[in-house]
Each structure stands twice: as structure tokens, then as C-alpha cells.
Amino acid sequence: MRILIVEDDKDLNAQLVEALTDAGYVVDKAYDGEEGHFLGDTEPYDAVILDIGLPLMDGISILENWRRDGRKMPVLLLTARDRWSEKVAGIDAGADDYVTKPFHVEEVLARIRALIRRSAGIASSEIEWGALRLDTKQSKVTVDGAVIKLTSHEFRLLSYLLHHQGKVISRTELVEHLYDQDFDRDSNTIEVFVGRLRKKLKLDIIETVRGMGYRIQAMNDAA
């Protein structure tokens, strides 16, 4: 999963980047509103953490522009302002949730997990597919209760496919959501990781749709 952080406080930005990276996300960052708006408008993100008080362009204006342009990624607002009117303005502009500074990073992580699940129509922090269980909170995968050791790239790939069960996901979409903007998008790493996942999971779960991409059938359809 790929996250954008738009926060002008460089220390806080770095803290969030580190926490999200440690949690298994791919993270892009911006320190002002213009750069953040550009990234959110041109790159695909699974969620955005957006500060309201930004230089060059404020968070509310960024969010209004994104929503007006049809950008639907979940957005978590950060605000140091203890004013209910600004929180209401953020929600009305299209924010999905907010936290007020100072906050615990663990709360931000939990809210991001919830926003990504909600956007995929998933209620629980654990996604089950037959004998397989993916725990989004602990970044852990088990099959029949046995822990399967995956690399961070393998976990992100499996997680993305499970969050989009029933949908054919192109290789391009996978690359865009699993790597930052500097990744070499002409490489064949997606195919390599799919092969490794199949060997490790030993389940007939990832289907290759020739000429289109990969799919994990929705559990109801696979049953």
C-alpha cells in the first residue's frame, strides 16, 4: 500500500514516514501544499495524511481541489487547531477522518488501516481467504495457523490483491501502488514476487489473467 504524507514539520514528517515504513507501507512525502497537491493529483495513493496548516497552499484547499477533480483516495487530516469549525470544514471538503496534534503515531497507523479497509469494503483488521489469514495490524500472514514468512514486498503485494478481491489488477497498477515514484517501473519484479508468493503459500489463490494482470477471486466466488 502506498501512502502520501503532506506535513511541513520536517521532524513530524520524518517520524510518520519511519512509522509507516516500519509498518510495511511505501511512503511518499511533501513539505508544502503545492508539492502535496501535485503528488496527490498525479500519483495513485491508497491513503493520504494531510496537514491543514501548510505553506503555499492550505490542506482544505488541496482537499477541495482533489475531490473536485475526482480523486477518491481516503484522506486523514492533521490539525493543531482545536477549533471544531475547521474540523467540520475538513470533513465537508471530503476528508474521511482527522486527528488533532499532538497525537500518538499508533493512533495514526490505526486510522490509516481503518481507512484503507473501509475503502475496500473490509470491516475487520484480519482478512481471511480459505485457510489463509492476513493480519493488517501485525503485518502477519498465516496458512492453517502456521506463520508464513514473507518479505515486505511480498506482503504488500498479497495485501493489495486481498484488499481488491474479485478485481483484475494490472501489473502497472501493482507497481504504482507498491513502490514510490522513483521505482524502475520497467522491471519484472511483480512477476518474481507472484511466483515466490505461490511457492510460499502453497495455495491456489493468485490467478494470472493473461494479458491483463492478476486476481484473487472474491472468497464467495471461490467457495
162-186 tens-digit pLDDT: 999 999 999 989 998 988 766 666 5
Residues 100 and 135 in one domain: no
* pLDDT of 82 strictly over 80: no
Q: Give the model's pLDDT for residue 80.
A: 78
Shared-domain flag, residues 7 and 115: yes
Average pLDDT of the residues in 203-221: 88
Per-residue pLDDT of 108-120, as tens digits, reads 999 999 999 999 8
In total, how many domains does the chain have?
2
* Residue where a domain stops, chosen among 98, 119, 140: 119
Q: pLDDT value at position 220?
A: 63
**What is the pLDDT at residue 47?**
97
Query: 80 and 73 in contact (C-beta within 8 Å)?
Result: no
User: Is residue 60 located within the same domain as residue 84?
Assistant: yes
Alpha helices in 96-179 (DSSP H): 105-119, 152-163, 171-178
C-alpha span between 66 and 75 (Å, rounded): 10
- Mean pLDDT value of segment 39-65: 96
Among the three residues 119, 139, 156, which one is the final residue of a domain in this structure? 119
Predicted local distance difference test score (pLDDT) of residue 23: 92
Q: Which domain holds residue 96?
A: 2-119
Which residues on neighbouring strands pair with residue 28, listed in sequence order? 4
